[in-house]
Amino acid sequence: MNVENVKRLLALLAGGGAVDESWEAAGFSTRAEAILAIESLSKSLGEAPRGGKPRGVARAILHTDGASRGNPGPSAIAAVMYLPTGEELASVAKKIGRATNNVAEYRAVVEGMKLARSLGVGELVVRMDSELVMKQLTGAYRIRSADLEPLAREVAAEARHFAKCSFEHVKRGENREADRLANEALDRVEDS
């Protein structure tokens, strides 16, 4: 069982995807292979925790990025979640159609926060290389675009699901994995 493929599949499923839509994007050769990996993982985990609630993660760091070829143009998003130790926990990457780079940046944050919530994260630190979006989310800059206002409200609504949520700007070099995944998603032919 390829652990990286399983991680990608779990992230896609946590982001609302279905196995029929996600197995190939996760890197499996066939749908049956993906189902076998899920069954194997399920058996290795044993019985689910009582009460049906996820065990949860006390604190996680989420790196997000949006990619747009043209402004607006074909776009994709990616979000990569890490434990404070630096261990990758989960990721999601997908095309989002035609959008501006700022819309893609916001949509990446929303998708990443939904993924964090699905994993039961308590405290979340969101890091991105878009200084504009980070400053808008922290209130340092006003949002002047009508396209971004509903997305900012959606981020605020997602943030209320966490005990603590903060937004930080990082240099592009510190956001390499999210950038790579967003560009890979944009390059995938099968998603077109």
Percentage of residues of the chain with pLDDT beyond 90 = 66
For 42, residues 6+ apart whose C-beta sits below 8 A from its C-beta are none
3-class secondary structure, 145: coil
**pLDDT tens string 91-137:** 999 999 999 999 999 999 999 999 999 999 999 999 999 999 999 99
In 69-109, the DSSP E strands lie at 73-82, 88-99
Amino acid at 99: A
Q: Mean pLDDT in the chain? A: 86
Res 13: pLDDT: 74
Residues 159 and 117: beta-carbon distance below 8 Å:
no
β-pairing verdict for 88-99 and 73-82: antiparallel
For 55, residues 6+ apart whose C-beta sits below 8 A from its C-beta are 49, 120
Q: Does an H or E element contain 112, and which?
A: helix 101-118
Res 48: pLDDT: 39
Task: Kindly tell me if the per-residue pLDDT of 160 is higher than 60.
Answer: yes
Task: Kindly tell me if the per-residue pLDDT of 58 is higher than 50.
Answer: yes
The DSSP output letter for 56 is -
Dihedral sign for Cα atoms in the order 28, 31, 36, 42: positive
Instruction: Summarize the confidence of residues 139-164 as an average pLDDT.
Output: 95
Q: Which residue has the higher pLDDT, 161 or 47?
A: 161
Res 49: pLDDT: 37
Calpha distance 190→24 (Å, rounded): 9
**pLDDT tens string 16-41:** 777 677 778 888 777 777 777 776 66
* Phi-psi domain of 97 (left: phi exceeds 0; alpha: psi -120 through 50; beta: other): left
